[in-house]
């Protein structure tokens, strides 16, 4: 029984090795184009896979030259003949490239051509196996394009330093932003430790290694601190380190992104300092105001009881200084309110000429104290604005006070109001000490004074023009300072938008 089974098994094996079985096997393969060529390249056989991949039926392609499967550029280069020559010479030739289907479409093919020889070495022809790798090729191209886009994106970023580190923290990639932020060119930094970008204190404390260890443990780390440039200067940076995990979970490298926040930090510090200054101003103004009321009351009592010239002189002196100090405190409070956005205008339709006339009348004693001549030029036609009368009066009082203070005794101060287009233009000009170009550029900044401010009895805190600029801005206007230089006087011009103003010719008049 066993011998009979062995005999049957041997017969089956022999049948499987027959040419017919091999032919049927080859013809039934559908995932590979398998066909034979004559020694000169004409198709001699054709399987189902070849029909599926290339689109030709056997009766359409057998007897035709296999060069039909190649695109024009390959034909122009004589590539089909080269393939056969190399296969005949080497026994086997493998290639990848574009091939053409019956319908003219292209596909990416892997091709293996094997020389078929007789027992005496005579070339009988070739077998050719073709695989359609178009999808793999497209995926590879997509990946390549994606990597190229990412590379271009990273290299094109100028505002962020983006660079690669190996697991030990050695720089292995460097973008243009990193060069701009840190100053190092790629040739200068690649191969060096990321610790070379940290300040000495952090290096001594092991901070760079700690950041990498944290990123490796949890995936990323983020910190802010000082970093260095190639020239040794420091900058304030926001740093993010992201680990690139390998299959075993250990980081195979890191990506570090660094932003230069030096300017942002400076602005933050200035804003914080500004808030502190405003808070101090408000506190100082309130603390100074508390003793002013009892001092003023005492002055009133002294004036009533004063029966000697000396006592009366003292009362007048104290009274003037209390008035001056009260004005300074009021200015401090106003600056604090305006800079903190707490001031609100009580707007109404105003005839600006009347506001100016009243304000000038209140300022005549101050101007006359310096023996100045005060000229006022007002238009005959009314100029209406939407504004706060008290605040606009404050603007004019500050401007006239400045002109009086910064003009030598016996000078001239002129106040002029006129219409220009749809705006009301209010100017205060003097022939005083003038302003330098540098002072003009900062005239409206807080606590800015002229060089001679501190040696004058009527010197202020340098906040008057700041108040003027803020109040005018709240009214939708602008104020401009102009001067031809030291000793040549100053002109301040306020421009305010008019409302419901008909176009009329203005006639100037000077009030008596």
Residues 384/350, Cβ–Cβ less than 8 Å: yes
CA distance 280 to 285: 8
In eight-state DSSP terms, residue 122 is: -
The pLDDT score that the predictor gives to residue 508 is: 37
The sign one gets for the Cα dihedral 433, 437, 440, 443 is negative
Strand arrangement of the beta sheet that strand 106-117 belongs to: 33-37, 123-132, 106-117, 92-100
Task: Show the tokens assigned to 348.
Answer: 């109404």
**pLDDT value for 250:** 72
- Kindly write down the DSSP assignment for every residue of 149-203, as one continuous string: HHHHHHHH--SEEEEEE-TTSBEEEE-HHHHHHH---HHHHTTSBGGGGB-HHHH
Q: And the tokens for 86?
A: 């190399």
212-245: pLDDT as tens digits? 999 888 888 999 999 999 999 999 999 999 998 8
Total length of the chain: 512
Return the CATH architecture of domain 348-509: 2-Layer Sandwich (3.30)
CATH T-level fold of 14-132: Beta-Lactamase (3.30.450)
Percentage with pLDDT > 90 across the chain: 45
Sheet holding 478-482, edge to edge: 478-482, 490-497, 423-430, 412-420, 373-379, 508-509
Q: What is the pLDDT of residue 152?
A: 57
Which H or E element spans position 289? helix 262-305
Helix 464-474 vs helix 309-339: crossing angle, to nearest 10:
50
Helices and strands, counts by H and E, the chain: 17, 17
Structure tokens at 341: 């956005």
Under DSSP, the state recorded for 103 is T
**In which element (H, E) is residue 292 found?**
helix 262-305
Are 443 and 435 in contact, with CB atoms under 8 Å apart? yes
Burial (CB count <10 Å: 0-12, 13-18, 19+), residue 6: exposed
CA–CA separation, 492 vs 472, rounded Å?
Answer: 12
CATH code of domain 157-260: 3.30.450.20
**What's the rounded Cα separation, in Å, for the pair 340 and 332?**
12
- What is the spatial distance between Cα 156 and Cα 158, in angstroms, rounded to a whole number? 6
Which CA distances in Å does 440 have to 5, 266, 307, 478?
A: 116, 25, 49, 15
pTM of the model: 0.42
List the structure tokens of 285: 């103004």
CA separation for the pair 430, 143 (Å, rounded): 75
Enumerate residues 6+ apart whose C-beta is below 8 A from 351. 382, 383, 384
DSSP letter for each residue of 299-350: HHHHHHH--SHHHHHHHHHHHHHHHHHHHHHHHHHHHHHHHTT------EEE
**Could you give the CA distance from residue 480 to residue 469 in angstroms, rounded to a whole number?**
9
In the predicted model, residues of the chain with pLDDT beneath 50 are 12-13, 15-18, 451-461, 502-512
């Amino acid at each position: 029984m066993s011998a009979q089974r062995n005999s049957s098994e041997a017969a089956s094996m022999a049948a499987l090795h027959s040419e017919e079985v091999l032919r049927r096997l080859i013809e039934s393969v559908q995932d590979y184009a398998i066909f034979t060529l004559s020694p000169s390249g004409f198709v001699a056989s054709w399987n189902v896979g070849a029909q599926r991949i290339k689109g030709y039926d056997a009766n359409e392609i057998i007897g035709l030259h296999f060069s039909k499967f190649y695109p024009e550029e390959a034909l122009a280069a004589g590539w089909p003949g080269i393939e056969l020559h190399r296969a005949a010479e080497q026994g086997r030739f493998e290639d990848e490239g574009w091939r053409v289907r019956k319908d003219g479409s292209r596909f990416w093919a892997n091709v293996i051509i094997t020389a078929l020889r007789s027992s005496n070495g005579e070339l009988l022809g070739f077998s050719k196996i073709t695989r359609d790798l178009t999808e793999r090729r497209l995926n590879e191209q997509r990946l390549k394009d994606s990597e190229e886009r990412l590379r271009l994106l990273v290299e094109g970023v100028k505002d962020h330093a983006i660079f690669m580190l190996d697991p030990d923290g050695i720089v292995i990639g460097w973008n243009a932003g990193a060069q701009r932020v840190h100053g190092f060119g790629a040739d200068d930094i690649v191969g060096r430790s990321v610790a070379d970008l940290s300040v000495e204190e952090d290096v001594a404390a092991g901070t760079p290694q700690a950041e990498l260890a944290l990123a490796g443990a949890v995936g990323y780390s983020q910190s802010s601190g000082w970093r260095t440039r190639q020239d040794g200067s420091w900058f304030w940076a926001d740093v993010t380190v992201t680990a690139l995990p390998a299959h075993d979970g250990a980081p195979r490298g890191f990506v570090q992104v660094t932003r230069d926040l030096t300017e942002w930090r400076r602005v933050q510090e200035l804003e914080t300092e500004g808030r502190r200054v405003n808070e101090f101003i408000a506190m100082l103004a309130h603390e100074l105001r508390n003793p002013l009321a009892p001092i003023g009351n005492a002055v009133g009592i002294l004036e009533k009881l004063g029966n000697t010239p000396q006592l009366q002189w003292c009362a007048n002196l104290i009274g003037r200084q209390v008035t001056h100090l009260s004005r300074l405190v009021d200015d401090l409070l106003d600056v604090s309110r305006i800079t903190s956005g707490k001031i609100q205008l009580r707007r109404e339709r105003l005839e600006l000429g009347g506001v100016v006339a009243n304000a000038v009348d209140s300022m005549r004693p101050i101007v006359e104290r310096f023996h100045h001549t005060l000229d006022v030029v007002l238009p005959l036609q009314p100029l209406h604005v939407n504004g706060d009368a008290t605040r606009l009066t404050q603007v004019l009082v500050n401007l006239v006070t400045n002109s009086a203070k910064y003009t030598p005794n016996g000078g001239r101060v002129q106040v002029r109001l006129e219409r220009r287009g749809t705006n009301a233009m209010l100017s205060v000009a003097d022939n005083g000490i003038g302003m330098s170009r540098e002072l003009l550029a900062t005239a409206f900044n807080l606590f800015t004074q002229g060089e001679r401010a501190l040696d004058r009895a009527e010197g202020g805190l340098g906040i008057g023009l700041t108040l003027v600029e803020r109040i005018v801005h709240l009214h939708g206007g602008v104020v401009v300072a102009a001067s031809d230089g030291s000793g040549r006087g100053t002109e301040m011009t306020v421009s305010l938008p008019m409302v419901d103003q008909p176009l009329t010719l203005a006639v100037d008049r000077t009030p008596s």
